[in-house]
Amino acid sequence: MTRFLLTRLTSLILTLLAASVVIFLVVEVVPGDVASVMLGLNAEPEAVAALREELGLNAPAHVRYLTWVSGLFTGDFGQSHTYRVPVSELIADRLWVSLPLAIYALALSTFIAIPVGLIAATRAGKATDTGIMGLTQLGIAVPNFWFAMFLVLIFAINLRWFPSGGFPGWDEGLWQGIIALTLPAIALAVQQASIMARVTRSATLETLGQDYIRTARAKGLSQRQTVIRHAMRNALIPVLTILGLQFSFLLAGAIIIENVFFLPGLGRLIFQAITQNDLIVVKSVVMLLVFAIVTVNFLVDVAYAAVDPRLRRRA
């Protein structure tokens, strides 16, 4: 297990390093002069020169890269050009919206998808199964922001059960925060739940065909007991991998959904940064997203290996 951990950890670090190089190249080297991009075409040459000075753009690229990366380690992400506050502060504020949203959506989709997938698998070929599979096909095809708009129309505008957007902040109480994140989390969860339900179904079907399941049934366990005690455990292994993949989809999806609900999360931050040409913010937020995705997938791999010893050797 130690060897497995070391190999995976090395590849995690290499991926992150490579990602940071790519992001740096795209944002700082490819466009030529970052200061002119940030200030736009009509900027005064003096202003551009001043910004170059302020951002330390006169240093060679490799020095700037090293400054940026070592800053990431110490939590110094630079200063936002438009907000005039440290990027780390901006990110920390917004993370308290985006992260709970992603976790809320992940929890919702898991709690819906696993039972639904199990039910479909145990009723394979029957009307319930066909119905569930049809619904999941539909769930995969529905764009989450479109679904979100109708959630707002029905549950916020007509029924007034939830706010149509905005976020009161966690200071207003946990409950208020959860209420504000509920519609966005549902919108995010639908597609993920559909995918996960399908994976759960096929993984369960696969385990249900195994000999030890027949043995369990033969020794007198009911179908329900067999599924819960034996099939589910093994079926959940592939589901676990999907969970890691989904996290990255959820983060990306959250970027759009936050815009539908006007939530002050990382997604809103990054779009504001784009419209204001605040490349300093874009660079670090993208790096943070990639970091989160790669790290979650690493953790899933480790969890996976802990559950299934065969995988440790393959690494």
Partner 1 sequence: MKRNLIIGGALSTLFTLAALLSFLWTPYDVTALNIGAKFGTPNGQNLLGTDHFGRDILSMLMVGARISIAVALAAVSFGILLGVPLGLLAAARRGSVVDEIIMRSNDLVFAFPSLVIAILITAVFGPSLWNAILAIGIFNTPVFARVTRGAALSLWTLDYIMAARVAGKGAFRISFEHILPNILNLLIVQATIQFAVGIIIEAGLSYVGLGAQPPIPSWGRMLADSQTMISFAPHLALFPGAAIVLMVLGLNLLGDGLRDALDPKIRRART
Single out the residue of 300, 247, 2, 223 nearest to residue 101, CA to CA. 247
Q: Shortest distance, CB of residue 172 to partner 1, whole angstroms?
A: 25
The two three-digit tokens of residue 46, written as one number: 């003096």
Cβ-based neighbour number of residue 58 at 10 Å: 11
Question: Measured from the CB atom, is 177 or 293 closer to partner 1?
Answer: 293
Q: Shortest distance, CB of residue 151 to partner 1, whole angstroms?
A: 11
User: What residues make contact with partner 1 under the rule CB under 8 A?
Assistant: 11, 14-15, 18-19, 22-23, 26-27, 30-31, 37, 137-138, 140-143, 145-146, 149-150, 152-153, 157, 198-199, 201-202, 205-206, 248-249, 251-252, 255-256, 259-260, 270-271, 273-274, 277, 279, 282, 286, 289-290, 293-294, 297
Residues present in the chain in total: 315
Question: Measured from the CB atom, is 177 or 195 closer to partner 1?
Answer: 195
Q: Shortest distance, CB of residue 300 to partner 1, whole angstroms?
A: 13
Q: Shortest distance, CB of residue 171 to partner 1, whole angstroms?
A: 29
Question: Measured from the CB atom, is 189 or 279 closer to partner 1?
Answer: 279
User: What's the rounded Cα separation, in Å, for the pair 113 and 117?
Assistant: 6
Q: Shortest distance, CB of residue 270 to partner 1, whole angstroms?
A: 6
Q: Shortest distance, CB of residue 18 to partner 1, whole angstroms?
A: 5
CA torsion 285-291-292-295 (nearest 10°) is: 180
Q: Shortest distance, CB of residue 220 to partner 1, whole angstroms?
A: 28
Single out the residue of 1, 233, 258 nearest to residue 105, CA to CA. 258
Q: Distance between alpha carbon 112 and the CA centroid of its chain, in Å?
A: 18
DSSP string of 129-153, one letter each residue? HHHHHHHHHHHHHS-HHHHHHHHII
Cβ burial of 174 (10 Å; 0-12, 13-18, 19+) is: exposed
What is the 8-class DSSP label of residue 158?
Answer: I
Question: Measured from the CB atom, is 130 or 223 closer to partner 1?
Answer: 130
Single out the residue of 117, 114, 119, 130 nearest to residue 223, CA to CA. 119
User: What's the rounded Cα separation, in Å, for the pair 295 and 302?
Assistant: 11
Q: Shortest distance, CB of residue 30 to partner 1, whole angstroms?
A: 6
Contact 52/42 with Cβ under 8 angstroms?
no
Q: Which residues are CB-neighbours of 194 under 8 A, at least 6 positions away?
A: 113, 135, 136, 137, 138, 139, 140
Question: Measured from the CB atom, is 150 or 222 closer to partner 1?
Answer: 150
Question: Measured from the CB atom, is 5 or 256 closer to partner 1?
Answer: 256
Single out the residue of 142, 122, 263 nearest to residue 195, CA to CA. 142
Question: Measured from the CB atom, is 177 or 191 closer to partner 1?
Answer: 191
Question: Measured from the CB atom, is 15 or 176 closer to partner 1?
Answer: 15
